[in-house]
Amino acid sequence: MNNREVADLFEKIAHMLSIRGDVVHRVLAYQKAAEAVRELGRDINQVYAEGRLTEIAGIGSTLADKIGEMLTTGELEFYERLSQEIPPTLVDLLRVEGMGPKRVQQVYETLGVTTLAELTAVARAGKLKELPRMGAKSEQRLLTAIEALAKHGDDRTPIGEAWPVAQAILAELQTLPGVVNTAVAGSLRRMRETIGDVDLLVAAAAAEPIMAHFCAMPQVERINGRGPTKSSVILHSGLQVDLRVLPPERWGTLLSYFTGSKNHNVRLRELALKQGLSLNEHAFTPTTGGDEILCASEEAVYATLGLPFIPPTLREERGEIEAALAGSLPQLIQQSDLISDLHMHTTWSDGKMSVLDMARAAQADGLRYIAITDHSVSLGIANGLSVERLWQQAEEIAAANAQLGPDFRILHGTEMEIKADGSLDFPDEVLAQLDFVIASLHTSLSQPRDQVTGRLLNAIYNPHVDMIAHPTGRLLPDRPGADLDMDQVLAAAAATGVILEVNANPSRLDLRDSHVRRAVELGVKLAINTDAHHVNHFALRHYGVATAQRGWATAVAIVNTWPLPKLLAHLHRNRHG
Ligand code: DGT
Ligand code: CA
Ligand code: CA
Ligand code: ZN
């Protein structure tokens, strides 16, 4: 067995235990072990052979013994026994939005459902609605969720997983002798929210030593293909990585070609043909014969076509060629434009660090002000704050502001629950005393479109609400989030000045790129926030910036570029009509 198979089995066991109703810490132990094995940069068989499994964080002697059993016999007795009790196919049911472990156990015990197909069948036959705490509406919602899963449940990797892996490999290749340049290409360079495979490029005079090093990296499980300038490997994590190596004088066409998108490239080649040139990854070539035109930079590629440089995040053939031809490309928002972060958590709720820790790290990160926005009381699972604790927190924030002095400011905010019935978690008198009020959907996301949209609109029209965080509540890769009527939400945000968030956490990226684009067109104010629960999460900001760029956002649209007085004036205007 390889890393992925061991990790998958642990993950499956964790899910089976949760369906059986086991204690949380046991479930978590298997989940953590699965993650640790998946992220291990080395072949697990080798670590086992060296007798060093217990040196992996989260792997104690019991789990190490289980890994040993899997690696030597290809089986796990514990799993076989558990399978007698909880059919492993039940785990598939958890991928349906709205199916938690309890509900899976319920359909298994009452209706004998063990597979997704059987679940679909009993739902279609109208048998689900007979169950306690179900009903015709829940049944319909599950059917919709099953269809959504069938449509979107593919094998793409969230960008947050692929990005660090690619950066680590590039950093290693960069150190090899003869390497002039390295870059990510493909969907990863365009910063799509999910990645099919990772494309890496290297500029070097001699390709062979780089190919040899790449294919021999310890993360590599197997080699799909290996040629003189191109190799493709599968990592232990299951991720496919393609590498191309070309000489430096061809870097521009190489980078342009493999960054894509395919449709963007098609348009570039059409423009080239109009000038009597054919274009590929190696060069421009006159169609009538003659010398190649080499491009050492992408700027040179675009210049040859009579175009300004088009940033990779725009290269999706969504109007960027026309805009470039017309000289009207947007001045995209840059990370260096951001001076604030308006959504983060501390140990007051489910964050890992104090108010002062978060503030100091934000200041060190170049920010000038932040909002501390811990959860509100009804999100008990995240230790949400009661009104009483909220006022205690106000004192701590005042003290921290006094300590930090005039160059930095902490706003006292909340991330307030929009409850299932549409009401808000704090009364208006409380909200009126806070500096910054976020309203969020975390629960009952699978309500029908009208109902869940109505909840969000109610929050937007409350005069004390300043921002809606992660509007749809989706989680990548396969929790689609609320089925919002986005036209209504965007129109309401535009009309009220309520800010919509582009949550930078790569498992959210919510608003997504296409919604950002519509928001920008409607003049909606947007914020790029990390939703940090730890100072390390500030490093995720670039995913939010890229998502905003993919939505053609400029600095004008992003409130985090505003000096604090401008933001406060905007909020004040909203609160008083
Ligand atoms: P992915 O991997 O599915 O997330 O998406 P990409 O865009 O990374 O696609 P991939 O890995 O198949 O190819 C990387 C880039 O190489 C792609 O964006 C454009 C270029 N490319 C690949 N195949 C073709 C092709 O047949 N024609 C053209 N014009 N470009 C291609
Ligand atoms: Ca790719
Ligand atoms: Ca590829
Ligand atoms: Zn949050």
Question: Domain end: 326, 345, 369, which one?
Answer: 326
Atom of ligand 1 nearest to the CA of 194: 4
Ligand 4 is a single-atom ion; what residues have CB below 5 A from it? 415, 531
Does 457 lie in the same domain as 341? yes
Helix (H, G, I), strand (E, B) or coil at 226: strand
Does 265 lie in the same domain as 193? no
Give the domain extent around 114: 3-152
Encode pLDDT of 75-105 as tens digits: 999 999 999 999 999 999 998 878 999 999 9
Distance (Å) from CA 255 to ligand 3 centroid: 13
- Would the CB of 253 count as within 6 Å of ligand 1? no
Atom of ligand 1 nearest to the CA of 187: 8
Confirm whether 414 is domain-assigned: yes
Confirm whether 251 is domain-assigned: no
Does 534 lie in the same domain as 429? yes
Q: What is the best residue among 265, 278, 550 to mutate for testing ligand 1's pocket, by most ligand atoms within 8 Å of CB? A: 265
Say how far apart CA 108 and CA 125 lie, in whole Å.
Answer: 16
- Would the CB of 262 count as within 6 Å of ligand 1? yes
Per the CB < 8 A criterion, the answer to whether 371 and 435 are in contact is yes
What separation, in Å, do the N-terminal and C-terminal C-alpha atoms of the chain show? Answer: 63
Q: Which helix (H) or strand (E) holds 222?
A: strand 220-226
- Would the CB of 186 count as within 6 Å of ligand 1? yes
Atom of ligand 1 nearest to the CA of 186: 8
Confirm whether 200 is domain-assigned: yes
Write the residue with the smallest CA distance to atom 24 of ligand 1. 262
Confirm whether 255 is domain-assigned: no
Structure tokens at 316: 């999706």
Distance (Å) from CA 319 to ligand 2 centroid: 22
Map tokens 């365009």 to a residue. Answer: 190
Distance (Å) from CA 242 to ligand 3 centroid: 6
Selection from 388, 378, 463 nearest residue 416 by Cα: 378
Question: How many CB atoms sit inside 10 A of residue 174's CB?
Answer: 12
Confirm whether 413 is domain-assigned: yes
pTM: 0.78
- Would the CB of 258 count as within 6 Å of ligand 1? yes
Distance (Å) from CA 143 to ligand 1 centroid: 34
Does 339 lie in the same domain as 322? no
- Would the CB of 199 count as within 6 Å of ligand 1? yes
Does 273 lie in the same domain as 236? no
Does 189 lie in the same domain as 65? no
Distance (Å) from CA 185 to ligand 1 centroid: 9
Does 545 lie in the same domain as 470? yes
Q: What is the best residue among 199, 241, 268, 321 to mutate for testing ligand 1's pocket, by most ligand atoms within 8 Å of CB? A: 199
Mean pLDDT by groups of 10 residues along the chain of 577 residues: 89 96 92 84 87 92 97 96 95 88 94 92 91 87 80 76 96 96 98 96 95 95 90 90 95 97 93 96 94 96 98 95 97 98 97 97 98 95 94 98 97 98 96 97 93 97 97 89 92 97 97 95 97 97 98 97 96 69
Give the side-chain half-sphere CA count within 13 A for 195: 30
Map tokens 């502001």 to a residue. Answer: 401
Q: What is the CATH number of the domain that holds 91?
A: 1.10.150.110
Say how far apart CA 499 and CA 576 lie, in whole Å.
Answer: 16
Does 166 lie in the same domain as 128? no
Distance (Å) from CA 524 to ligand 4 centroid: 21
- Would the CB of 98 count as within 6 Å of ligand 1? no
Structure tokens at 403: 């300590």
Q: What is the DSSP string of 352-371?
A: SS-HHHHHHHHHHTT-SEEE
Write the residue with the smallest CA distance to atom 27 of ligand 1. 262
**Which CA distances in Å does 469 have to 309, 310, 392, 473, 503?**
33, 30, 24, 8, 7
Which ligand sits closest to the CA of 231?
A: 3
Q: Which helix (H) or strand (E) holds 242?
A: strand 240-246
Atom of ligand 1 nearest to the CA of 266: 29
Which residue type does 563 have? P
Distance (Å) from CA 147 to ligand 3 centroid: 28
Distance (Å) from CA 11 to ligand 3 centroid: 28
- Would the CB of 261 count as within 6 Å of ligand 1? yes
Q: What is the CATH number of the domain that holds 540?
A: 3.20.20.140
Residue-level pLDDT at 4 = 80
Residue-level pLDDT at 154 = 56
Confirm whether 196 is domain-assigned: yes
Question: Domain end: 326, 346, 372, which one?
Answer: 326
- Would the CB of 513 count as within 6 Å of ligand 1? no
Encode pLDDT of 15-63 as tens digits: 999 999 999 889 999 998 998 887 676 789 989 999 999 999 889 999 9
Q: What angle do CA 70, 99, 59 make, to 5 degrees?
A: 30
Selection from 302, 282, 301, 300 nearest residue 292 by Cα: 282
Does 164 lie in the same domain as 64? no
Question: Domain end: 152, 180, 202, which one?
Answer: 152
Per the CB < 8 A criterion, the answer to whether 4 and 236 are in contact is yes
- The domain tally of the chain equals 4
Confirm whether 252 is domain-assigned: no
Give the side-chain half-sphere CA count within 13 A for 427: 2
* Residues contacting residue 169 through CB under 8 Å, at least 6 positions apart: 200, 214, 217, 219, 241
- Would the CB of 196 count as within 6 Å of ligand 1? yes
**Residues 266, 272, 276, 277: is their CA dihedral positive or negative?**
negative
- Would the CB of 197 count as within 6 Å of ligand 1? yes
Distance (Å) from CA 44 to ligand 3 centroid: 26
- Would the CB of 187 count as within 6 Å of ligand 1? yes
**Per-residue three-class SS string for 258-319:** HHCCHHHHHHHHHHHHHCCEEECCCCEEECCCCCCECCCCHHHHHHHCCCCCCCHHHCCCCC
Q: What is the CATH number of the domain that holds 235?
A: 3.30.460.10
- Would the CB of 232 count as within 6 Å of ligand 1? no
Q: What is the CATH number of the domain that holds 300?
A: 3.30.210.10
Residues 455-461: contacts with CB within 8 Å, 24+ apart?
455/418, 455/420, 455/422, 456/418, 456/482, 456/484, 456/489, 457/488, 457/489, 457/492, 458/418, 458/422, 458/423, 458/424, 459/418, 459/424, 460/489, 460/492, 460/493, 460/496, 460/498, 461/492, 461/496
Does 461 lie in the same domain as 412? yes
Does 296 lie in the same domain as 241? no
Confirm whether 497 is domain-assigned: yes
- Would the CB of 230 count as within 6 Å of ligand 1? no
Does 18 lie in the same domain as 65? yes
- Would the CB of 510 count as within 6 Å of ligand 1? no
- Cα 281 to chain center, whole Å? 30
Encode pLDDT of 378-394 as tens digits: 998 889 999 999 999 99
Say how far apart CA 566 and CA 570 lie, in whole Å.
Answer: 6
Distance (Å) from CA 194 to ligand 2 centroid: 10
Q: What is the best residue among 184, 258, 264, 271 to mutate for testing ligand 1's pocket, by most ligand atoms within 8 Å of CB? A: 258
Atom of ligand 1 nearest to the CA of 257: 20
